[in-house]
Amino acid sequence: MNITTKIVVVLTYKIILFNQIIFSQNSGWFWQNPLPQGNPLYAVDFTNELTGWAVGSGGIIIKTTDGGTSWTSQTSGTTQYLYGVSFTDSDNGTAVGGPGTILRTTDGGATWTLQTSGTYSWLFDVSFTNPNSGTAVGGEGTILKTTDGGATWTSQTSGTTEWLSGVSFTDSDNGTAVGLQGTIIRTTNGGTTWTLQTSGTTDDLLAVSFTDSDNGTTVGNEGTILRTTDAGTTWTSQTSGTTQYLYDVSFTDSDIGTAVGGTTILRTTDAGATWVSQTSGTTHSLQSVSFTDSDNGTAVGLQGTIIRTTNGGTTWTLQTSGTTDDLLAVSFTDSNNGTVVGEGIILRTTNGGISWTSQPPGVIDWFSGVSFTDSDNGTVVGGGGKILRTTDGGTTWELQSSGTTTSLRAVSFTDSDNGTVVGFFGTILRTTDGGANWNLQSSTTSWMLDGVSFTDSDNGAIVGEWGTILRTTNGGASFIEEKEVDEIPTEFYLTNNFPNPFNPSTKIRYSVPQLSNVTIKVFDVLGNEIETLVNEEKPTGSYEITWYAEGLPSGVYFYQLKADSFVETKKMVLMK
């Protein structure tokens, strides 16, 4: 569909408070007012000044042959939401929607035929340049291509997992698709290859440490260090002074922290305003670090490396691990009791690392994450979806059922019951009973998740590849991302969320023209507060929130912005 002819039409209406009734051609109910129907319309395409089609919710398709003076409903054969439509002439057209819905007509819409898309992703736009050649785009970077009028659709590699909301081709070769997070991708060969034209943060983030619900630090490749003091609403890049990969970070309070990676150890005592390099005394790459207070810390690394400090890193002392296996993670609960894991190995100390004892894990695999909440209760995660649990300080380890064979990278427990595990392909697992049961949570990303940090059973952050940062305030039932948009507003404003309906994530933008105390809350249809998305003082600016609601049931929800005396509420629909 040509960009200049794409119009998004939203017809808002209220029939019953908190409820929207969607009428279909076969429901037994017929629109009397407005005519020809009253459902929201999301896209329109004209082939000339008189002939055009519009599509929308409930499978609605309407057609005009008189420039919109009158519109006639057509039978689509579906009740799915339709978000995009493209006609190349008065006969041949295609409409797309969710999930994976593609409809085709060769007679101007007198009949519509459902085509096989081969995907369950929601499709948000479509562009045809002739009756045969077309491209559809949608959720999680989905791109589909046809060269035979939709008889077959082939998936193309977009190079992004962002939701693509629009596409425009000028001929069969040259096209552009756009999407969330400012994504713009371009092809000059019909989609054989797509090139990213603009992007946000692309640094892989490998570890994260929060000391309370607001203050946290994440580290990653090329010496990347990012800092937040507002629960992740904004992240500020800090100067590390290194280009080495930083694999882990440990803060004991909001000011004092240590990051490690390669042969580098960095120390800050001012919340990262300055980072000072320390001498590690080893040539082996350091993979993990754990401090229990400002003085006592342990770092581990490849070739069985364990180093220890009791003076905040002024000096580091090499300890004897008794192994040459690579060590990948460490967790101390106090200055004496700690556990290290690595390639098929678990080591335990009860004397601050003066001696380390090997503990048989009972399985053969590599372990990359460990979390203890006290000297007895701990969890180890690793390859093949393996999760091991101990309640006796590692004397015995029990293999738990994770429900996945995906490799797991990190784990964070806040007490003996509540824990979260992350891993490859966007995997997030959650337990509230010490691992007796693990539930898969949706991250809406396929990137590797490398680090997780919870400060209590509700508040946590997850980081991973390509700058991924996820934030939850309800134990992962839903996740929040927020970023600042590069524009200066002149008034308070709250946008309609997109997409809507959604599953499982949606975007909400809002603007504040002056320094304001801002809250955004989500409510169900009974008025119960579900989650607080924002609750802080915001400077002038426009912002975008991503709300992940995988753990919530389908239904109607309301989100409300309060900023000084300004109040606005909007409705959204979670449809699973």
219 shares its domain with 190: no
Beta carbons of 480 and 519 less than 8 angstroms apart: no
What local confidence, expressed as pLDDT, does residue 32 receive? 45
**Residue predicted with more confidence, 286 or 503:** 286
The residue out of 197, 221, 244 marking a domain boundary is 197
Question: Which bin fits 384, alpha (ψ -120 to 50), beta or left (φ > 0)?
Answer: left
376 and 230 belong to one structural domain: yes
For residue 134, pLDDT over 60 is answered with yes
Same-domain check for residues 569 and 495: yes
Same domain for 421 and 278, yes or no, is yes
Element (H, E) at 311: none
More confident position, 500 or 266: 266
> What does the pLDDT read at residue 339?
94
Q: Do 222 and 322 lie in a common domain?
A: yes
> For residue 515, what is the domain's CATH number?
2.60.40.1930
Measured CA to CA, the distance from residue 98 to residue 498 in angstroms comes to: 14
Q: What is the mean predicted confidence (pLDDT) over 127-143?
A: 91
192 and 217 assigned to the same domain: no
Residue 355 scores a pLDDT above 60:
yes
465 and 504 share a domain?
no
Q: Are residues 221 and 308 in the same domain?
A: yes
Cα dihedral sign for 27, 33, 38, 43?
A: positive
pLDDT score of 341: 93
pLDDT per position as a tens digit, 303-343? 888 999 999 999 999 988 888 888 889 999 888 999 999 98
- Burial 345-377, CB ≥16 within 10 A → b, else e: bbbbbeebbeebeebebeeeebbbbbbbbebeb
The phi, psi pair for 517, rounded to 5°, reads -85, 115
Question: Which pLDDT tens digit goes with each residue over 421-449?
Answer: 999 888 999 999 999 999 988 766 777 88
Single residue among 476, 505, 529 that ends a domain in this structure: 476
Nearest-angstrom CA–CA distance, 343 and 302: 10
Q: Which amino acid is at 152?
A: T
pLDDT of residue 433: 95
Are 402 and 511 within one domain? no
Work out the pLDDT band at 203, boundaries 50, 70, 90: low
CA–CA gap between residue 448 and residue 450 (Å, rounded): 6
Which of 436, 458, 476 is the last residue before a domain boundary?
476
Cis peptide bond prior to 34, omega within 30° of 0 = yes
| Cα→Cα distances 550→430, 472, 477, 503, Å | 13, 12, 6, 7
CATH at residue 23? 2.130.10.10
Question: Model confidence over 438-489: pLDDT tens digits?
Answer: 998 876 677 788 899 898 888 888 888 777 788 888 887 766 665 555 567 7
Dist. CA 525–CA 529, nearest whole Å:
10
Q: Are residues 39 and 80 in the same domain?
A: yes
Q: How confident is the model at residue 200 (pLDDT cuts 50, 70, 90)?
A: very low
pLDDT of residue 360: 85
Query: What domain count does the chain have?
Result: 3
CA angle, 428 as apex, 232 and 329 as ends, to 5°?
80
CA separation for the pair 382, 411 (Å, rounded): 10
| DSSP type of residue 134 | E
For residues 471 and 490, state if they share a domain.
no
Q: Is the pLDDT of residue 22 over 60?
A: no
Query: For residues 216 and 453, is the Cβ–Cβ distance under 8 A?
Result: yes
- Quick check: pTM over 0.95? no
Domain that holds residue 395: 205-476
Residues 6+ apart with CB under 8 A from 301: 260, 282, 284, 285, 286, 287, 288, 326, 327
Query: Within this chain, do residues 315 and 386 fall inside the same structural domain, yes or no?
Result: yes
Cis ω for the linkage preceding 539 (within 30 of 0)? no
The answer to whether residues 286 and 308 touch, using CB atoms and an 8 Å cutoff, is: no
